[in-house]
Amino acid sequence: MQATPELPSPDRIFQVLQDAASQDYVVAQAASAQLDVFRTIPGVFYMVQMAANERNLPLDVRKMAIFQFKNVVPQQWRRAALYPENVKQDIRSGMFRFLDEPDDIIAQTNAIAMAKIARIDFPRAWPDVGSQLLEVIGTNSQAIYINSNTDPRALLVLRRALGALNQIIKELTPAKIPLLASAVLGLVHQVQEALLPIYGYATATFSNNLSPETLASDDKLNHIRIAHFTFKCIVKCITFMWHRTRVKGFEVAEPVVKGFFGTAVTHFIALSTLRSSLFQANLSQNLIQSPTQSYLSRHVRLYGKYFRKTQVYSPQQFVRLPHCRELVLHYWERVVAASGAPPTTIQDSDNAMYPIRFLTQALSIFKDALAQWSPIRQPDNQEVLPREFVEGAIDLIVNRLLLLDEQDLEKWSEEPEEWINIEEGDSDAWEYGVRPCAERVLMTLATQYGDYVEPMIRTYLQRVREHPATDLPSIIKQEAVYCAVGRCAHRLKDIDFDSWISQSLAQEALDPNPIYRIIKRRIAWLFGRWYAERSLSQSREKVYEILVHLISAQGEGSDLAIRLTAATALENCINSVNFEIPVFHPFITPSLSALLQLVADTESQDAKRRVIRSINTLIDNVKEAIVPSLGDIIGPVTQLWQHPEVDIPLRGELISTASSLIKASKENSAPLAPIAAILIRDCLSPILSVQMEDDAINLWLVTLRNSVPNPNPTVPDIFELLPTSIHILNTNLDAVSGACQLIESYLLLDATRVLQLQALPLHQAYLQVYKTAITADVKTVLGTACMMVQLSVDGRLWAEAMHTSGFFAHILSAVIEDRTKNDNTLVLVEFDNIVDAPRRKLVALATAELLATGNKIAVERLATSEALNIWLDVLGELKEALEQRPGEDDQDSPLILYWKQQDEYVLPDKLEDAAETLEFGRRQDLFKRDPVRNIPLKEFIQQKMQQAQAVAGVEFQAALSKVDSATIASIQKQLS
């Protein structure tokens, strides 16, 4: 037994921690290795915790100690050998000694470690962790707010205890295990009851006499911090209850949640109004940037996070909570005030009068409330928002919130690719910008209050059409109107889009004047949106022409933002349900030329990926019409692939391009196979394989499934990679399924060539998987081997390799072993475990074929009735018949099987991607040639028994005479 390492001295531990904090890389690395050794020694990290709490040590050493403690101890906490119960008790107690820690980083790290340990120990081993912290909080809060104690230590301890409690609640509240969730419910009840009075005291003390003169005082800062941390704890508790108000056993939480929400709305409106009044008092820059003002801004935003989480969980219940109407309208009032304020007051900063994150919270809450407050959801006589309010909101959004500001135009000009990526980014990005949020509010208004929105949008549009924009301000307003039209396209049924295109949009899009660039980008976007929502029949050719022009146009009248937007719009048009290849056919070549040039002109990887995605959509939709352009596409794609700075996401899109080209060209894809082989090899290289192996296999499968047999094997093709697929099967147990799909596709393409080139390595790979893989993978490999046998026209191609590799012997080893235990086993072990009807029939066919050889052992075993019983079972299960047609020979009539309808063929789920490929036809042919499908079992058994009798003669009759008469009678009845 290995001896336990000796516990190092405190001085030794201090020295290692000091070295670990060193700026010398060599020293720090050596110390890190020593700390890894310390992890295995019981008691060391209790001493590390003590070092972190030793105030006389250098601060960097103490920080290193607490970091090590936090990273190591929670991970090993369940290991009793390292942390016996007495040590755990000491560590738990030691964490409370950090509650008066002056350094924020050390205190926060200790709180995180405490929470992680509480997550493991609560409620069984550490049931009073919450009570202990609440006792500290209660004692110090009473000293501060009841006894008016101004001791700085009491404020510090209260703040640290609240921080630790916040971390613990954060760690515990996601609990889903019923026992733990029930214990957490008791804790959160206890916490919110204890903290609500403290929050009231802290908020009142902070708000009382708050003015520009008192804003920078330490006293105000201390109390807003306490209020902030207290509220964070309470909010987590209330949110936990809110998510469980409908769960059995948690109903008691509902009145608590509703009561708190109403109180929170009142506090929030007061604090939000207080903050606005401070800014209206013309605060100095120093006061605006003061910690107290920053905490107040964060605190107001924390309310917004709570309200938003509450709303997202249940929008229907949210609008029924107390004072919800006042809350939503207050948020809207803040938005209205911000829309009329100078642009400099709206920034992504807590020091701004209107922080962007506050405004996006306001718009998001307003948007989801609108979805509940509408004539659609309310009775006719209970409309929540009157028409005047809705029309005012629409006017505000279109004429103020949707306008591009100076920052937008500046970013557009300086970094058009980056700006467009943000502007047209992921669907969730709208929650982080005022203008995108406002667009979603407008869409919700159009859906819920369409009767109010439609006439207003039509009026705005008519106005800009009658008075064309001539300067930048009017162009920005026109752009906002076009944006509104696009966002509300799903409701604007009466707009004649075809005439709008011919009368004004086409001229504006083709105008070379640089001032119209803003309008051009929005027109391209509008085409994409309108195609996604509406059907255009008369103007499709004109739209394609305009978009191709915008993609290819360069010079002062265009820029990359316009071209990228047009590329995305063309993608949306092509991907619409009304897309028709004949209509788009004249634009295939110019579209591809423009898009490929745009790929070359863009610099960022994201922009290139956006354009490549548009090319892929075009290829997927025009299908075989892309064949004449194969050479034009594959050259730039391979050139871009070979660029060393191309990132993984862009390479993934390029792989999709190659896949799309091969799928579309099918039997014409032979010239693409060598290119695909290059891409696949690169993806499987050590540099890319971790991230792109799946992409490589998918492209590989697409190439194989859409290939035709190569009449000239000297010409390079996808068979270059056959050894690689076998190597993957042989060495990568995680990729057995994918490797078997590849090998099956190779076999279906040209089984003879596969076996001529790689018969022995293939069977060696089969054997390796059979020996080492899980049962499911072994079954997959056996299925592939069965397909190989079925496809091979010459059994000699696989027979020798199957024998030489040991694969066949290994398959039989289980049968041979069972034969020593049970002399009644012939070919199959536990035949009754086979539930698949075709496989049971296959075993019956094989048994009859084996008997027909006249082999002495096979004939002798006939006496055991094993073969007869298999035949009886299968004959009784199957309902086969030859379809009788007048004037036709029975032998030429198709066989009807009860488990398959005639000509029916369904691919396994994992092969659904092969449904529209050339391989699908090959699989159909194989299926139709399957002996199980074509051979009538009854006639086959009769024929093989006659052959056996002819070959074996006396031995056959002798074996048959040993079978009991009942079995003989049954088999005769079935075969008659």
Concatenated DSSP letters of 151-181: -HHHHHHHHHHHHHHHHHHHHHTT--SHHHH
| 840 and 816 part of one domain | no
Q: What's the one-letter identity of residue 267? A: H
| 76 and 216 part of one domain | no
Instruction: Judge residue 703's burial from the number of C-beta atoms within 10 Å of its C-beta, 0-12 exposed, 13-18 middle, 19 or more buried.
Output: buried
| 156 and 259 part of one domain | yes
* pLDDT at res. 902: 45
Distance from C-alpha of 437 to C-alpha of 685, rounded to nearest angstrom: 44
Among 918, 917, 877, 885, residue whose Cα is nearest residue 902? 885
Q: Is 249 left (phi over 0), alpha (psi -120 to 50) or beta?
A: left
For 20, 61, 71, the CA distances from 34, given in Å and listed in that order, are 9, 15, 15
* pLDDT at res. 392: 95
Q: Please report whether residue 226 resides in a domain.
A: yes
pTM for the full predicted model: 0.84
Q: Please report whether residue 572 resides in a domain.
A: no
Q: Please report whether residue 259 resides in a domain.
A: yes
Using an 8 Å Cβ cutoff, are 613 and 655 in contact?
no
| 457 and 335 part of one domain | yes
Most distant CA pair in the chain: distance in Å?
119
| 767 and 858 part of one domain | no
Distance from C-alpha of 444 to C-alpha of 885, rounded to nearest angstrom: 64
* pLDDT at res. 95: 97
How is residue 355 annotated by DSSP? Answer: E
Q: Please report whether residue 538 resides in a domain.
A: no
For 88, 193, 721, the CA distances from 212, given in Å and listed in that order, are 50, 33, 75
* pLDDT at res. 886: 43
Final residue before a domain boundary, out of 475, 495, 515: 495
* pLDDT at res. 422: 85
How is residue 894 annotated by DSSP? Answer: P
Final residue before a domain boundary, out of 65, 91, 121: 121
Taking each helix axis from N to C end, the angle separating 152-172 and 218-242, rounded to the nearest 10 degrees, works out to: 20
| 762 and 842 part of one domain | no
Q: Please report whether residue 506 resides in a domain.
A: no
| 808 and 940 part of one domain | no
Question: What residues contact 240, with CB distance under 8 A and at least 6 apart?
Answer: 169, 173, 184, 185, 188
First-to-last C-alpha distance (Å) of the chain = 75
How is residue 124 annotated by DSSP? Answer: T
Distance from C-alpha of 706 to C-alpha of 918, rounded to nearest angstrom: 5
Question: What residues contact 88, with CB distance under 8 A and at least 6 apart?
Answer: 77, 121, 125
Q: Please report whether residue 709 resides in a domain.
A: no
Q: Please report whether residue 670 resides in a domain.
A: no
For 5, 46, 90, 400, the CA distances from 86, given in Å and listed in that order, are 20, 11, 6, 66
Distance from C-alpha of 79 to C-alpha of 85, rounded to nearest angstrom: 10
Q: Which ranges of the chain have pLDDT less than 50?
A: 1, 380-381, 383, 823-824, 826, 828, 882-893, 902-903
* pLDDT at res. 120: 95
Two tokens at 559? Answer: 């820029």
Distance from C-alpha of 830 to C-alpha of 825, rounded to nearest angstrom: 9
**Domain residue limits at 873:** 831-975
| Phi, psi (deg, nearest 5) at residue 510 | -95, -5
Instruction: Judge residue 35's burial from the number of C-beta atoms within 10 Å of its C-beta, 0-12 exposed, 13-18 middle, 19 or more buried.
Output: buried
3-state secondary structure of 43: coil
| 364 and 469 part of one domain | yes
| 99 and 209 part of one domain | no
| 95 and 134 part of one domain | no
Strand partners of residue 881: 896
Q: How many domains does the chain have?
A: 5
* pLDDT at res. 716: 83
Final residue before a domain boundary, out of 462, 495, 528: 495
For 226, 843, 927, the CA distances from 837, given in Å and listed in that order, are 72, 10, 15
| 350 and 488 part of one domain | yes
Q: Please report whether residue 597 resides in a domain.
A: no
| 159 and 196 part of one domain | yes
* pLDDT at res. 6: 83
What Rg value do the Cα atoms of the chain yield, rounded?
Answer: 38
